[in-house]
Structure 1
Amino acid sequence: MTERRPTVPETGNLHVGSPKRILSPFESWHPVLFYAPVIVYWLLLALRHRSLTLPAVANPQIEHGGLCGESKTKLFASMTPEGREWVAPYVSFARGDDGEIDRDLGRLTAQLEAAGLEFPLVAKPDVGCHGAGVRLVHDRAELRAYLRAFPANERLLIQHFVDHEGEAGIFYVRRPNDAVGRIFSMTLKYFPTVVGDGKSTLGQLIRRDPRAGRLAHLYLPRHQHRIHWVPAVGEPVRLVFAGNHCKGAMFRNGGRLVTPELAERIDQIARTIPSFHFGRFDVRFRSLGELMQGEGFTIVEFNGGGSEATHIWDPDTTLFSAYRDLFAQTRILFEIGAAHREVGHEPAGWRVLLGLWLREQQLKRAYPITE
């Protein structure tokens, strides 16, 4: 019997085709195993440049270069008004103590009304990565539940839901002496679905699906509240909302679709962020045709030095090419940091960065489960 392959849905007028593999051959590896060669390469570059934390000044106007623990609120606020026009509207809110949920809900609702934001909305932590704690909230009751599950006295963002099916991660680099920056990588993100048959429960559909069945440990906990629900015949059920591979989204390499028009637009936006040289913009778009023209997209998030060229998680990417590209981005990160150190920027010590990373990991474990 021929093994059924997952299909990649068309987004707009173009698509990149279905992958030859169901999963990346290294997608299920433990992160410590997969990233071990990158860590060794980082240490070699640290010896060459005489600094373990030199990448922390790759983006000198961003807290520790955006390497870890940076605030999304501060990142968005760093953009000029021209840059923020490309960002999905949001409000930033500091949750109170555990006994103040109703008070917090009232204050947050007032902020949302003042900003003209209406449900559905995207709730996400102010500090976090890998899609941790990201959820779509449809009404006031779901917003209250999110606040209750969120760590006390921590900041979160509530953002306009950009209702476009297309999503991409666009990785940008610009060396300090370069006249223009370039797109180092573009990843198209797709969101797996299962289709109801009127008889099987959602749990059964997930377990039987060729791809979802291999990632059931990601999907089943997220849908535990409706695992015994039976979708109607032909009813599609999206399994993941957050566009992150470790949450179960499917990634495809969109590098061949990068055009001069898109590269120019991303460079223009990047220059609205002071001293921004290395990072990734996560965008939602109406169609690939418009995206390739540098139009029809909205930024939902951007990251700095801790970003990754996520096209490596395309199921058809080989292990050799994944490491080649990860090594290349790491080398560029150190070289940009070295250029900034020459003009007086000094990175924080490793203890500071380790503390930020540990706090970020602690917060990730405390956030509400990702949708």
Structure 2
Amino acid sequence: MTDVTTAIDSRPDRQAGGPTVSSFEFWPGWIFYTPIVLYWIILGLWHRDFSLPTAANPRIETGGLCGESKSSILDMAGDVARKWIAPYAVLTTGHDDLPRALAAMKGAGLSFPVVLKPDIGCNGTGVRIMRDEDSLRAGLAAFGRDVPVMLQHLIPYGHEVGLFYIRHPDEAEGRITSLTYKEVPCLTGDGTSTVEELVHADPRTRLVPHIYLPRLKARLHEIPPAGQSLPLVFAGNHCKGSIFHDRAVDITPELQARVNTIMRDIPDFHFGRIDAKALSLASLRKGEDFQIIEINGVGSEATHIWDARTTLRDAYVTQFMHYRETFRIGAKKRREGWKSSGAMAMLRAWLRQRRLMASYPMND
């Protein structure tokens, strides 16, 4: 198909001789995020409200920090923004969920294949492709009962990107502070090696085999034919094994204008990341031919920090800047009369999200 070919042909290449992973890319989360938590505490003391960032997007539960419904954010989109969002339907698993899912798909104009994912969650947990009714039946059953899930159009474009957007309440125009291209890691068969052997031979995957091998459990002893490509993940998340490239060079006035038009059509949204798929980087630079998968709030991060060329210093400068901005925006919204969620509400939302995510199936 033309769109996929275009995306692959224009894919940004890894720099020759550059690092395969950064020095901190796969540190334990508690090590990398401890300085950020300390900085959050300092900002909370300064502003006298540890939950102030939740007021940055006051119409979203916890501002999108945790526990928020993905569909509830997309539901706020007006007629202009809705044209750029991939169609979706929502239901709660339970009795007769397959016929209800099929009816919801029909109502939203969806057809197979579709993406099935939890409505509350993060990091791509539980995201899977449903190719027919049988796989959808099994996919819904894997989520257990009384779990809100989304069914969304499988966008055929080959470029998945993350655009971080910030607009202060007293500003007419926002800005894109980060643009990241997400690359699906692929192995190439040689006709003699098993999938497991290929994982351990690749310069990147051999460093973090625990990310890929559980998902490939049923195929570890297969021997892919020479030249056959084997994508390792579907969900474009760093912790699930996707490779991230900093593409700040592709932030153009045309793209900024398009994103501003879309995001101004979502009431009181000021801070977060837009996950989308684009036909090509060339069309993205023109602000054309892309569809939005998700809009994430204050719990999201500028994912270009996971580019292997990003230094630890630059990663922290980026993180501190973004969290400082969300406190500043929250303070301005507070002066407008909005309230933050409070520490206990944040805790309850986080615990609910954690409980749900523990029950989700492995992602594709």
**TM class by shorter-chain length?**
over 0.9
Mapped partners of 1:264, 1:318: distance in 2: 30
- Check conservation: 1:69, 1:128, Cα contact below 8 A: yes
1:207-226 superposed matches below 5 A = 207-226=200-219
What's the counterpart of residue 187 of structure 2?
194
What's the counterpart of residue 38 of structure 1?
36
Mapped partners of 1:180, 1:68: distance in 2: 26
Mapped partners of 1:61, 1:35: distance in 2: 27
Post-superposition Cα deviations, 1:250-282, rounded to whole Å, max 9, x if no partner, equal 001011110000011011100110011001100
What's the counterpart of residue 159 of structure 1?
152
What's the counterpart of residue 62 of structure 2?
64
Letter in 2 for 1:88: A
What's the counterpart of residue 233 of structure 1?
226
What's the counterpart of residue 314 of structure 1?
307
Deviation (angstroms), 1:14: 6.0
Structure 2: tracts of 5 or more residues without a match = 1-5
Name whichever of 221-230 and 241-250 sits farther off: 221-230
- Check conservation: 2:77, 2:265, Cα contact below 8 A: yes
What's the counterpart of residue 277 of structure 2?
284
Post-superposition Cα deviations, 1:123-142, rounded to whole Å, max 9, x if no partner, equal 11000011111111212111
Of 9, 14, 18, which aligns to 2:15?
18
Letter in 2 for 1:32: W
Post-superposition Cα deviations, 1:312-334, rounded to whole Å, max 9, x if no partner, equal 00000000000000000000000
- Check conservation: 1:172, 1:278, Cα contact below 8 A: yes
| Change in 2 beyond 3 A, CA 1:341/1:258 | same
Post-superposition Cα deviations, 1:25-76, rounded to whole Å, max 9, x if no partner, equal 1111111110011011001101110000000100112222111111011111
Letter in 2 for 1:28: F
What's the counterpart of residue 135 of structure 2?
142
Mapped partners of 2:9, 2:171: distance in 1: 34
What's the counterpart of residue 344 of structure 1?
337
Mapped partners of 1:10, 1:321: distance in 2: 29
Superposition RMSD in Å: 1.4
Of 316, 323, 333, which aligns to 2:316?
323
After TM superposition, the score normalised by the length of structure 2 is 0.96
After TM superposition, the score normalised by the length of structure 1 is 0.94
Mapped partners of 1:136, 1:120: distance in 2: 7
Mapped partners of 2:110, 2:148: distance in 1: 18
Structure 1: tracts of 5 or more residues without a match = 1-8
Mapped partners of 2:11, 2:141: distance in 1: 42
Letter in 1 for 2:253: P
What's the counterpart of residue 199 of structure 2?
206
Of 237, 244, 247, which aligns to 2:240?
247
What's the counterpart of residue 92 of structure 2?
94
Mapped partners of 2:58, 2:89: distance in 1: 25
Alignment of 1:300 onto 2:297: no
What's the counterpart of residue 132 of structure 1?
125
Deviation (angstroms), 1:148: 1.0
Q: Report runs of 4+ in structure 1 exceeding 4 Å deviation.
A: 9-12
Deviation (angstroms), 1:114: 3.3
Number of paired residues? Answer: 358
Mapped partners of 2:241, 2:79: distance in 1: 34
Mapped partners of 1:11, 1:293: distance in 2: 18
- Check conservation: 1:12, 1:288, Cα contact below 8 A: no
Mapped partners of 1:72, 1:12: distance in 2: 32
What's the counterpart of residue 27 of structure 1?
25
Post-superposition Cα deviations, 1:5-34, rounded to whole Å, max 9, x if no partner, equal xxxx97454625437111121111111110
Per the alignment, in what secondary structure is the counterpart of residue 281 of structure 1? strand
Deviation (angstroms), 1:111: 2.0
Per the alignment, in what secondary structure is the counterpart of residue 213 of structure 2? helix
| Change in 2 beyond 3 A, CA 1:153/1:209 | same
Mapped partners of 1:329, 1:232: distance in 2: 46
Letter in 2 for 1:34: F
